[in-house]
């Protein structure tokens, strides 16, 4: 294992920002290469935890002689934010994952992104550990955006339950996954957990999926058990349950729960009078993939996303 600074940036007063990388495998290996990027945001604690857990795991595997490719793990990109409870770059509040591919002569966060991206270019595979961009939590899933260079086949080797495969949104052109794909790395994101916390089940599941991927792609010489045959989802296969009222939100289900049509999934209470304002019923049969994770909910917020059996049947029937 080689531990080194990918980026070191002086600050006016605090200690320099260091983005550290952990490199495993032989320098001139014939095997494939992969880079794994952890917390880009100061509230991506699950992502930090999975990445640092991988560093320790791979250190042991390297000692056992099990590494046949080359692996770079970057547990924390935004240590400055992590160390002060911020989400974004602490001075100008810009999101590092909106700065790619970066610009070496630009603003501070563009320079950081640029130096990081220089290191990330050229890897065969790229995994981005991402948190959600809203107040939700979800069943761990793979996010693969369509840039024209994406690779759906390799993503299946993670053996995760769900792959969200969809066209990219305009803002995503400034994100790492899109730019990494354009530079011909088979890049994808694993989105999981609730921001600002550690979920042991979810993080274990993601760790296992990454180890499975490393093994199946001949980067790690190690037996693994088979995972799921992944379901490929897009927004048309998801049914949304929204809060018709704002108030205190109590969920009655968990992400991953299989539910029937008409089942009670959540309740909203008036935050002052305690009166029950809404009983939320599932409009379809399916699996809860995502739910609102803050105890106070806003009117019209998405409380649940449900992978709908009906919608999948309809879409698949049309295709035949």
Chain residues that interact with another protein, rule: CB under 8 A = 9-13, 87-88, 91-93, 98, 105-111, 133-135, 169-171, 173-174, 240, 242, 245-248, 271-272, 296-302
Q: Between residues 1 and 174, which has the closer beta carbon with respect to another protein?
A: 174
Q: Between residues 39 and 127, which has the closer beta carbon with respect to another protein?
A: 39
Closest approach of another protein to the CB of residue 286, in Å:
17
**For residue 187, what is the enclosing H or E element?**
strand 186-191
Could you give the maximum distance between any two Cα atoms of the chain, in Å? 67
Distance CA 287, CA 308 (A): 7
Closest approach of another protein to the CB of residue 98, in Å:
7
Closest approach of another protein to the CB of residue 14, in Å:
10
Q: Between residues 7 and 54, which has the closer beta carbon with respect to another protein?
A: 7
DSSP state of 57: H
Closest approach of another protein to the CB of residue 233, in Å:
16
Closest Cα partner for 142 from 96, 116, 177?
Answer: 177
Closest approach of another protein to the CB of residue 225, in Å:
37
Q: Between residues 92 and 320, which has the closer beta carbon with respect to another protein?
A: 92
Taking CA atoms, 110 is separated from 40, 177, 301, in Å, by 13, 16, 33
Residue matched to tokens 């961009």: 133
Closest approach of another protein to the CB of residue 294, in Å:
8
Q: Between residues 23 and 241, which has the closer beta carbon with respect to another protein?
A: 241
Q: Between residues 106 and 122, which has the closer beta carbon with respect to another protein?
A: 106
- With b for 16 or more beta-carbon neighbours within 10 A and e for fewer, the 80-114 pattern comes to bbbeeebbbbbeeebbbbbbbbbeeeeeebbbbbb
Distance CA 48, CA 54 (A): 10
Closest approach of another protein to the CB of residue 1, in Å:
29
Distance CA 122, CA 184 (A): 8
Return left, alpha or beta for 17; rule: phi > 0 is left, psi -120 to 50 is alpha, else beta: beta
Distance CA 95, CA 117 (A): 15
Q: Between residues 107 and 221, which has the closer beta carbon with respect to another protein?
A: 107
Q: What are phi and psi of 139, to 5 degrees?
A: -65, 130
CB atoms within 10 A of CB 236: 11
Closest approach of another protein to the CB of residue 279, in Å:
17
Q: Between residues 32 and 136, which has the closer beta carbon with respect to another protein?
A: 136
């Amino acid at each position: 294992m080689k531990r080194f600074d990918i980026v070191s940036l002086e600050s006016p007063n605090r200690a320099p920002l260091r983005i550290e990388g952990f490199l495993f495998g032989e320098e001139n290996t014939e095997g494939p290469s992969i880079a794994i990027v952890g917390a880009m945001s100061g509230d991506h604690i699950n992502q930090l935890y999975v990445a640092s857990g991988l560093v320790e795991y791979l250190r042991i595997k390297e000692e056992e002689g099990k590494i046949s490719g080359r692996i770079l793990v970057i547990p924390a990109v935004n240590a400055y934010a992590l160390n002060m409870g911020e989400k974004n770059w602490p001075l100008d509040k810009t999101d590092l994952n909106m700065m790619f591919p970066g610009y070496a002569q630009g603003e501070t966060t563009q320079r950081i992104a640029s130096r990081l991206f220089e290191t990330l270019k050229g890897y065969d595979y790229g995994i981005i550990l991402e948190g959600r961009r809203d107040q939700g939590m979800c069943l761990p899933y793979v996010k693969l955006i369509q840039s024209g260079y994406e690779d759906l086949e390799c993503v299946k080797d993670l053996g995760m339950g769900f792959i969200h495969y969809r066209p990219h949104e305009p803002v995503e052109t400034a994100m790492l996954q899109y730019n990494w794909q354009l530079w011909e790395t088979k890049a994808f994101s694993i989105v999981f957990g609730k921001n600002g916390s550690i979920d042991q089940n979810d993080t274990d599941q993601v760790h296992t999926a990454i180890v499975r991927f490393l093994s199946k792609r001949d980067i790690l010489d190690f037996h693994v058990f088979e995972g799921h045959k992944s379901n490929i989802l897009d927004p048309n296969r998801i049914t949304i349950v929204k809060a018709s009222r704002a108030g205190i939100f109590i969920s009655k289900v968990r992400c991953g729960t299989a539910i029937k049509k008409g089942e009670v999934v959540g309740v909203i209470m008036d935050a002052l009078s305690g009166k029950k304002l809404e009983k939320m019923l599932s409009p379809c049969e399916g699996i809860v993939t995502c739910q609102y994770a803050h105890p106070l909910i806003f009117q019209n917020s998405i409380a649940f996303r449900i992978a709908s059996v009906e919608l999948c049947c309809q879409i698949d029937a049309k295709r035949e």
